Amino acid sequence: MSAVDTGDDSLLARVEGAVGTITFSRPERRNALTPGMLVALHLTLARWAEAGEVRVVVLEGAGDRAFSAGYDVRAIPTSPGPEIEKALRESNPLELGLAAVRSFPYPVIASVRGACFGAALNVAMCCDIRLGAEDVAIGMPPARLGLVYPAAGVAQFVAVLGTARAREVFFTARTYRAREALDMGLVDHLFATDALAAATAQMAAEIAANAPLALRGLKRVLGLLADATVLSPAARTEADALVAASFSSADAVEGQMAFLEKRAPKFTGR
């Protein structure tokens, strides 16, 4: 087994044989994603894709409370390394991370314990397979915060869950647990909490034993089929405008204040 320098201490990476494991490691913040972590995720997967030795990737969260609580908008890096700083200037960190997971040439498995919300759930949806523990708590809260989620992210949910279930997940902003998450398709398999790590390792090893050319080809074909949900340029422009308007709305301010104050929001539609 070898450790990998990701350029961010909150994102740990290691390679064992043909399996690469990436750990979101901010347990004190329930592994909330930072811009630096997302750029490091992108850079790590890019290096592994170029080298071609990692044929399965596992994404997991440190500790026993969370895969990741979501995107931590308060965590802006103060002294990133030059590679991460360059990537931060050129692209949206969340889009970078999501695209890196989605486009990695070999299968990616999300091993989900505990909380998995918002952008972190989007990361899991970009994975090829999602394995969950019985303690999972999964949801997409944007509607409860007065926000419209970006169209590319919504499209990923539609591709995985289908339109009807994606509508329910976004419209209700509900938290799904264990069997509910399995029934909704948010996880593909459910395991006893203490059995998740072993089940993940077994599946990763099973996939890694298959022919590399076949794995790459199948991943690419499945990706091409998923691209059927991509919006036209005009539709993407309209969707982006809806997202931007929601972020500047009074409801967005109220939703976020209510979340921080742990109370029910009072939305006005403005």
Domain limits, the chain = 2-193+220-224, 228-261
| Model confidence pLDDT, tens digit, residues 64-122 | 999 999 998 665 444 455 655 555 455 688 999 999 999 999 999 999 999 999 999 99
For residues 86 and 234, which has the higher predicted lDDT (pLDDT)? 234
For residues 1 and 50, which has the higher predicted lDDT (pLDDT)? 50
pTM: 0.86
Q: What would be the CATH architecture of the domain defined by 2-193+220-224?
A: Alpha-Beta Complex (3.90)
**Farthest CA pair distance, the chain:** 56
| Model confidence pLDDT, tens digit, residues 7-56 | 788 999 999 999 999 999 999 999 999 999 999 999 999 999 999 999 99
Residue 60 makes CB contacts below 8 A (sequence gap 6+) with: 21, 22, 23, 24, 67, 110, 111, 113, 200
How many CB atoms lie under 10 A from the CB of residue 80?
A: 18
Q: What is the mean pLDDT of the chain?
A: 90
Amino acid identity, position 104: F
Question: 131: burial class by Cβ within 10 Å (0-12, 13-18, 19+)?
Answer: buried
